[in-house]
Amino acid sequence: MRTTGLTVGEYEIFWLNGGSFKLDGGAMFGPVPKSIWSTRYPVEQNNNILLTASPMLIKGPDSLILVESGIGNKLTAKQRQIFQIQREWDVIGDLKKLGISRHDIDTVVLTHGDWDHAGGIVMTGASGEPELSFPRARHLLQRAEWEDICQPCTRSSAAYWPINTDALNLSSQLVLVEEMATVAPGITVRRTGGHTRGHQVVFIESQGEQAIHLGDLFPTRAHLNPLWVMAYDNFPLEVIERKKKLIHQGMRDQAWFLFYHDPFCEACKFGTDGKPSASWSARTDGA
Protein backbone atom coordinates (compact mmCIF):
# COMPACT_ATOMS: atom_id res chain seq x y z
CA MET A 1 0.00 0.00 0.00
CA ARG A 2 0.97 3.60 -0.48
CA THR A 3 1.74 5.33 2.79
CA THR A 4 1.37 8.85 1.45
CA GLY A 5 -2.24 9.80 1.07
CA LEU A 6 -4.24 11.88 -1.35
CA THR A 7 -4.38 15.39 0.07
CA VAL A 8 -7.66 17.27 0.19
CA GLY A 9 -7.03 20.50 2.11
CA GLU A 10 -6.12 19.56 5.67
CA TYR A 11 -7.19 15.93 5.19
CA GLU A 12 -5.16 13.01 3.87
CA ILE A 13 -6.94 9.98 2.39
CA PHE A 14 -5.47 6.45 2.42
CA TRP A 15 -6.88 3.36 0.66
CA LEU A 16 -6.77 0.21 2.81
CA ASN A 17 -6.97 -3.45 1.87
CA GLY A 18 -10.54 -4.48 2.58
CA GLY A 19 -10.20 -7.58 0.39
CA SER A 20 -10.85 -8.23 -3.29
CA PHE A 21 -13.22 -10.59 -5.06
CA LYS A 22 -14.84 -11.37 -8.39
CA LEU A 23 -18.38 -10.90 -9.61
CA ASP A 24 -20.18 -11.43 -12.87
CA GLY A 25 -19.49 -8.37 -15.02
CA GLY A 26 -23.06 -8.36 -16.35
CA ALA A 27 -24.44 -7.87 -12.86
CA MET A 28 -22.07 -4.95 -12.21
CA PHE A 29 -23.07 -3.18 -15.43
CA GLY A 30 -26.81 -3.94 -15.37
CA PRO A 31 -28.49 -2.86 -18.61
CA VAL A 32 -25.26 -2.12 -20.51
CA PRO A 33 -24.37 -4.68 -23.24
CA LYS A 34 -21.12 -6.55 -22.66
CA SER A 35 -19.82 -5.45 -26.07
CA ILE A 36 -19.81 -1.89 -24.67
CA TRP A 37 -18.85 -2.24 -20.97
CA SER A 38 -16.03 -4.67 -21.78
CA THR A 39 -14.26 -1.87 -23.68
CA ARG A 40 -14.12 0.09 -20.39
CA TYR A 41 -13.39 -2.64 -17.83
CA PRO A 42 -11.16 -5.75 -18.02
CA VAL A 43 -13.18 -8.97 -18.19
CA GLU A 44 -12.22 -12.64 -17.99
CA GLN A 45 -13.44 -15.28 -20.42
CA ASN A 46 -16.08 -16.55 -18.00
CA ASN A 47 -17.47 -13.02 -17.66
CA ASN A 48 -15.96 -12.40 -14.21
CA ILE A 49 -14.46 -9.07 -13.27
CA LEU A 50 -12.11 -8.18 -10.42
CA LEU A 51 -13.32 -5.76 -7.76
CA THR A 52 -11.70 -4.38 -4.65
CA ALA A 53 -13.32 -3.38 -1.40
CA SER A 54 -11.20 -0.41 -0.37
CA PRO A 55 -12.04 1.30 2.90
CA MET A 56 -10.60 4.80 3.08
CA LEU A 57 -8.97 6.32 6.10
CA ILE A 58 -9.51 10.07 6.28
CA LYS A 59 -6.86 11.50 8.53
CA GLY A 60 -7.48 15.01 9.80
CA PRO A 61 -5.92 17.26 12.43
CA ASP A 62 -8.32 15.91 15.09
CA SER A 63 -9.94 12.91 13.51
CA LEU A 64 -9.36 9.41 12.15
CA ILE A 65 -12.38 8.48 10.07
CA LEU A 66 -12.85 5.21 8.24
CA VAL A 67 -15.26 5.16 5.30
CA GLU A 68 -16.51 1.57 4.81
CA SER A 69 -14.87 -1.48 6.33
CA GLY A 70 -14.25 -4.08 3.61
CA ILE A 71 -15.32 -7.72 3.41
CA GLY A 72 -13.99 -8.71 6.86
CA ASN A 73 -12.53 -12.02 7.99
CA LYS A 74 -15.69 -14.02 8.75
CA LEU A 75 -16.67 -15.45 5.37
CA THR A 76 -17.57 -19.13 5.26
CA ALA A 77 -15.86 -21.53 2.84
CA LYS A 78 -18.97 -21.44 0.66
CA GLN A 79 -19.09 -17.62 0.60
CA ARG A 80 -15.39 -17.49 -0.22
CA GLN A 81 -16.04 -19.76 -3.16
CA ILE A 82 -19.08 -17.82 -4.41
CA PHE A 83 -17.26 -14.49 -4.27
CA GLN A 84 -13.91 -15.92 -5.42
CA ILE A 85 -11.90 -14.07 -2.78
CA GLN A 86 -8.61 -12.87 -4.29
CA ARG A 87 -7.08 -10.87 -1.45
CA GLU A 88 -7.63 -11.32 2.26
CA TRP A 89 -9.04 -8.46 4.33
CA ASP A 90 -6.22 -6.69 6.16
CA VAL A 91 -7.49 -3.28 7.23
CA ILE A 92 -5.93 -3.66 10.68
CA GLY A 93 -2.53 -4.50 9.14
CA ASP A 94 -2.69 -1.54 6.78
CA LEU A 95 -3.59 0.80 9.63
CA LYS A 96 -0.52 -0.47 11.51
CA LYS A 97 1.67 0.44 8.53
CA LEU A 98 0.41 3.99 9.05
CA GLY A 99 1.18 3.81 12.77
CA ILE A 100 -2.50 3.63 13.69
CA SER A 101 -4.18 1.09 15.96
CA ARG A 102 -7.76 -0.09 15.43
CA HIS A 103 -8.54 1.48 18.81
CA ASP A 104 -7.55 4.92 17.45
CA ILE A 105 -10.34 5.10 14.84
CA ASP A 106 -12.93 7.56 16.15
CA THR A 107 -15.56 7.27 13.42
CA VAL A 108 -16.68 4.62 10.94
CA VAL A 109 -19.01 5.73 8.16
CA LEU A 110 -20.89 3.05 6.24
CA THR A 111 -22.54 4.15 3.00
CA HIS A 112 -24.87 1.16 3.44
CA GLY A 113 -25.06 -2.25 5.08
CA ASP A 114 -24.17 -4.69 2.27
CA TRP A 115 -21.67 -7.41 3.22
CA ASP A 116 -18.85 -6.04 1.06
CA HIS A 117 -19.05 -2.65 2.84
CA ALA A 118 -20.02 -3.60 6.40
CA GLY A 119 -18.23 -6.97 6.64
CA GLY A 120 -15.20 -5.48 8.36
CA ILE A 121 -16.88 -3.69 11.27
CA VAL A 122 -17.11 -6.97 13.17
CA MET A 123 -14.14 -9.31 13.09
CA THR A 124 -13.21 -12.67 14.50
CA GLY A 125 -10.85 -11.67 17.28
CA ALA A 126 -8.08 -13.56 19.04
CA SER A 127 -10.68 -15.38 21.16
CA GLY A 128 -12.40 -16.68 18.03
CA GLU A 129 -15.53 -14.74 18.93
CA PRO A 130 -16.92 -11.85 16.85
CA GLU A 131 -16.05 -8.40 18.21
CA LEU A 132 -16.17 -4.81 16.97
CA SER A 133 -13.07 -4.19 14.85
CA PHE A 134 -12.99 -0.51 15.84
CA PRO A 135 -14.33 -0.64 19.37
CA ARG A 136 -13.98 3.04 20.22
CA ALA A 137 -15.49 4.38 17.00
CA ARG A 138 -18.99 5.66 16.59
CA HIS A 139 -20.52 3.96 13.57
CA LEU A 140 -22.62 6.21 11.33
CA LEU A 141 -25.45 4.81 9.22
CA GLN A 142 -28.67 6.33 7.97
CA ARG A 143 -31.69 5.46 10.10
CA ALA A 144 -33.54 4.15 7.00
CA GLU A 145 -30.60 1.83 6.26
CA TRP A 146 -30.52 0.50 9.80
CA GLU A 147 -34.29 -0.16 9.70
CA ASP A 148 -33.82 -2.25 6.56
CA ILE A 149 -30.80 -4.06 8.02
CA CYS A 150 -32.92 -5.04 11.01
CA GLN A 151 -35.87 -6.10 8.85
CA PRO A 152 -34.53 -7.01 5.43
CA CYS A 153 -36.84 -7.91 2.57
CA THR A 154 -36.33 -11.15 0.62
CA ARG A 155 -34.00 -9.47 -1.85
CA SER A 156 -31.87 -7.42 0.54
CA SER A 157 -31.37 -10.28 3.00
CA ALA A 158 -28.89 -11.72 0.48
CA ALA A 159 -26.53 -8.79 1.17
CA TYR A 160 -27.40 -7.78 4.76
CA TRP A 161 -25.72 -10.43 6.90
CA PRO A 162 -26.66 -10.38 10.61
CA ILE A 163 -23.15 -11.57 11.54
CA ASN A 164 -21.83 -8.21 10.32
CA THR A 165 -24.17 -6.02 12.34
CA ASP A 166 -25.44 -7.95 15.38
CA ALA A 167 -22.54 -6.83 17.58
CA LEU A 168 -23.11 -3.23 16.53
CA ASN A 169 -26.77 -3.50 17.47
CA LEU A 170 -25.80 -4.48 21.00
CA SER A 171 -23.19 -1.77 21.44
CA SER A 172 -23.60 1.90 22.20
CA GLN A 173 -21.42 2.78 19.22
CA LEU A 174 -24.23 3.01 16.67
CA VAL A 175 -25.21 6.52 15.56
CA LEU A 176 -28.21 6.81 13.27
CA VAL A 177 -28.24 9.75 10.88
CA GLU A 178 -31.42 11.49 9.75
CA GLU A 179 -30.67 12.50 6.15
CA MET A 180 -27.55 14.60 6.80
CA ALA A 181 -24.83 14.94 9.43
CA THR A 182 -21.49 16.67 9.89
CA VAL A 183 -18.82 14.13 10.78
CA ALA A 184 -15.87 16.50 11.23
CA PRO A 185 -15.17 20.07 10.01
CA GLY A 186 -15.87 20.01 6.24
CA ILE A 187 -16.92 16.33 6.19
CA THR A 188 -20.61 15.54 5.78
CA VAL A 189 -22.73 12.50 5.01
CA ARG A 190 -25.98 12.77 3.07
CA ARG A 191 -28.65 10.23 2.28
CA THR A 192 -29.14 9.49 -1.41
CA GLY A 193 -31.08 6.22 -1.46
CA GLY A 194 -30.83 4.54 -4.85
CA HIS A 195 -28.56 1.56 -4.37
CA THR A 196 -30.36 0.81 -1.10
CA ARG A 197 -33.15 2.83 0.54
CA GLY A 198 -30.80 4.31 3.15
CA HIS A 199 -27.62 4.62 1.07
CA GLN A 200 -25.51 7.68 1.97
CA VAL A 201 -22.53 9.46 0.42
CA VAL A 202 -19.60 11.39 1.90
CA PHE A 203 -18.45 14.90 1.00
CA ILE A 204 -15.05 16.23 2.00
CA GLU A 205 -14.39 19.95 1.65
CA SER A 206 -11.28 21.62 3.01
CA GLN A 207 -9.28 24.70 2.12
CA GLY A 208 -10.98 25.05 -1.26
CA GLU A 209 -10.49 21.41 -2.26
CA GLN A 210 -13.19 18.75 -2.53
CA ALA A 211 -13.62 15.00 -2.69
CA ILE A 212 -16.80 12.93 -3.04
CA HIS A 213 -17.31 9.30 -2.04
CA LEU A 214 -20.42 8.15 -3.86
CA GLY A 215 -20.34 4.61 -2.47
CA ASP A 216 -22.18 2.20 -4.75
CA LEU A 217 -23.77 4.98 -6.82
CA PHE A 218 -20.40 5.24 -8.58
CA PRO A 219 -18.52 2.00 -7.80
CA THR A 220 -15.80 2.17 -10.47
CA ARG A 221 -14.54 4.81 -12.86
CA ALA A 222 -16.23 2.89 -15.68
CA HIS A 223 -19.64 3.70 -14.19
CA LEU A 224 -19.41 7.42 -15.09
CA ASN A 225 -22.48 7.41 -17.36
CA PRO A 226 -25.50 7.87 -15.04
CA LEU A 227 -27.40 5.25 -17.05
CA TRP A 228 -24.76 2.60 -16.22
CA VAL A 229 -26.44 1.23 -13.13
CA MET A 230 -25.87 -2.15 -11.48
CA ALA A 231 -28.25 -5.10 -11.37
CA TYR A 232 -27.64 -4.86 -7.61
CA ASP A 233 -29.24 -1.39 -7.38
CA ASN A 234 -32.59 -1.66 -5.60
CA PHE A 235 -33.93 1.65 -6.97
CA PRO A 236 -32.17 2.21 -10.31
CA LEU A 237 -34.20 5.27 -11.36
CA GLU A 238 -33.16 6.97 -8.13
CA VAL A 239 -29.52 6.02 -8.77
CA ILE A 240 -29.68 7.62 -12.22
CA GLU A 241 -31.15 10.90 -10.96
CA ARG A 242 -28.84 11.23 -7.91
CA LYS A 243 -25.74 10.21 -9.81
CA LYS A 244 -26.43 12.62 -12.66
CA LYS A 245 -26.73 15.53 -10.25
CA LEU A 246 -23.78 14.60 -8.03
CA ILE A 247 -21.40 13.87 -10.90
CA HIS A 248 -22.32 17.16 -12.54
CA GLN A 249 -21.71 18.97 -9.25
CA GLY A 250 -18.37 17.21 -8.68
CA MET A 251 -17.14 17.95 -12.19
CA ARG A 252 -18.14 21.59 -11.87
CA ASP A 253 -16.27 21.90 -8.56
CA GLN A 254 -13.24 19.91 -9.77
CA ALA A 255 -13.76 17.43 -6.92
CA TRP A 256 -11.90 14.15 -6.56
CA PHE A 257 -14.23 11.17 -7.05
CA LEU A 258 -13.16 8.37 -4.70
CA PHE A 259 -13.76 4.75 -5.78
CA TYR A 260 -14.38 1.85 -3.41
CA HIS A 261 -14.57 -1.03 -5.90
CA ASP A 262 -12.13 -0.06 -8.65
CA PRO A 263 -8.79 -1.95 -8.61
CA PHE A 264 -7.49 0.16 -11.49
CA CYS A 265 -8.23 3.69 -10.32
CA GLU A 266 -8.72 4.80 -6.73
CA ALA A 267 -9.60 8.41 -7.41
CA CYS A 268 -9.94 10.77 -10.32
CA LYS A 269 -11.14 14.18 -11.40
CA PHE A 270 -13.04 14.70 -14.63
CA GLY A 271 -12.97 17.58 -17.07
CA THR A 272 -16.28 18.96 -18.32
CA ASP A 273 -15.80 16.78 -21.43
CA GLY A 274 -16.10 13.69 -19.17
CA LYS A 275 -12.45 12.70 -19.66
CA PRO A 276 -10.25 12.15 -16.58
CA SER A 277 -8.21 15.28 -15.92
CA ALA A 278 -6.28 13.84 -12.95
CA SER A 279 -6.04 10.41 -11.36
CA TRP A 280 -4.64 8.86 -8.22
CA SER A 281 -3.29 5.35 -7.71
CA ALA A 282 -3.04 4.09 -4.16
CA ARG A 283 -0.90 1.11 -5.12
CA THR A 284 2.84 0.94 -5.35
CA ASP A 285 3.13 -2.78 -6.06
CA GLY A 286 0.43 -3.20 -8.72
CA ALA A 287 -1.33 -5.78 -6.52
Which distant-in-sequence residues (6+ apart) come within 8 Å of 118 by Cβ?
Answer: 68, 69, 110, 112, 161, 164, 165
In the complex with Zn ion, which residue's Cβ is closer, 116 or 266?
116
Residue of the chain from 94, 205, 216, 233 that contacts Zn ion (CB under 5 A):
216
Separation CA 184–CA 194 (nearest Å): 25
Q: Closest CB to Zn ion among 60 and 120?
A: 120
Number of residues that bind Zn ion (CB under 5 A): 2
Instruction: With beta carbons less than 8 A apart as the criterion, state whether 65 and 106 touch.
Output: yes
Q: Per CB under 5 A, which region of 63-71, 74-82, 209-217, 262-270 contacts Zn ion?
A: 209-217
User: How near is the Cβ of 116 to Zn ion at its closest, in Å?
Assistant: 5
Among the candidate windows 25-33, 214-222, 240-248, 277-285, which touches Zn ion by CB under 5 A? 214-222
Task: Look at residues 29, 54, 24, 21 and name the one whose alpha carbon lies nearest to residue 222.
Answer: 29
Contact positions with Zn ion (CB under 5 A) in 82-141: 116
- Residues 14-43 close enough to bind Zn ion by CB under 5 A: none
Q: How far is the CB of 232 from Zn ion (least distance, A)?
A: 7
Q: How far is the CB of 267 from Zn ion (least distance, A)?
A: 17
Q: Which is closer to Zn ion, CB of 116 or CB of 148?
A: 116
122 versus 184: smaller Cβ distance to Zn ion = 122
Residue closer to Zn ion by CB (options 199, 269) is 199
Binding positions for Zn ion, rule: CB under 5 A: 116, 216
